[in-house]
Amino acid sequence: MENSVLVEVEGPIATIVINRPEVLNAINYDVLDGLEAAIDQVAADDGVRVVIVTGAGERSFVAGADIALLQDMDPFAGKAYCERGQAVYSKLEKLPKPVIAAINGFALGGGSELALACDIRIASSKAKFGLPEVGLGVIPGFGGTQRLPRLIGVGYAKELILTGEIIRADRAAQIGLVNRVVEPEELTATVRELAQAIASKSSVALSFAKDSINRGIQMDLDTAIAMEAVQFAVAFSSDDRAEGIGAFLAKRTPDFSK
């Protein structure tokens, strides 16, 4: 566990690195434990405003579950593993800070599901995506059957999940699975530029906006916009609101770092 997940903090940006390049960053219990610890670390660090998630090496973001781990699982062990992964990914999804996936290679199975739990997905042109679990006689278990249709629509999600097809980054962009595709050598700079742009905004507003989107998409519209109104109103009690509006009226750049 000690080295399976690394956390690097530089200014307002934290980078969480899945660090098992010798097995294409495949997920096992050590990775899940390390990822949860990393999420807790960046959540508790008030200086961190944006989080990047990526994989070590040049070949893989996360290539999925460690298949050797699954081989001897019975239904009870399978359910426990599934629920553990779901809990960690949900914690990432609910982190009150924006999370960007820098997808540098294979994002298969649990890797695609990890990317789905992030807020924004930027992919290398060499990245590949898929949920191939049906070919192993199981189904996606870390939220894939639920997050994917919410992101790209039921039709595309069923096609990918039921065929187990692995698609290239350009196809992933066409169906809305990733926000942007860049050349491999541009991935780090592109993601950090995006992270810096987000980090310059109000952390209060970022947290409220993320939470409003995540919760509202699961509600009917009337309930969701009522919830949005509450979030909007509560933001008015923050120092960030005073700084942001004051800076706008004074025609200066707001400073939300205080």
Catalytic residues: 113, 133
Neighbouring residues of 166: CB distance < 8 A, sequence distance ≥ 6:
108, 128, 129, 130, 132
Distance (Å, whole) CA 215 – CA 229: 13
Distance (Å, whole) CA 118 – CA 155: 22
For 99, counting Cβ atoms within 10 Å of its Cβ (0-12 exposed, 13-18 middle, 19+ buried), the class is buried
User: DSSP letters along 103-117, please?
Assistant: E-SEEETHHHHHHHT
Structure tokens that stand for 64 in this block: 């999925």
| 141-to-1, 99, 207 alpha-carbon distances in Å | 22, 21, 27
- For 217, other C-beta atoms within 10 Å of its C-beta total 10
Half-sphere exposure in the Cβ direction for 243 (13 Å, CA) = 15
Degrees, nearest 5: CA angle 39-27-129: 95
CB contact at 8 A, 182 and 122:
yes
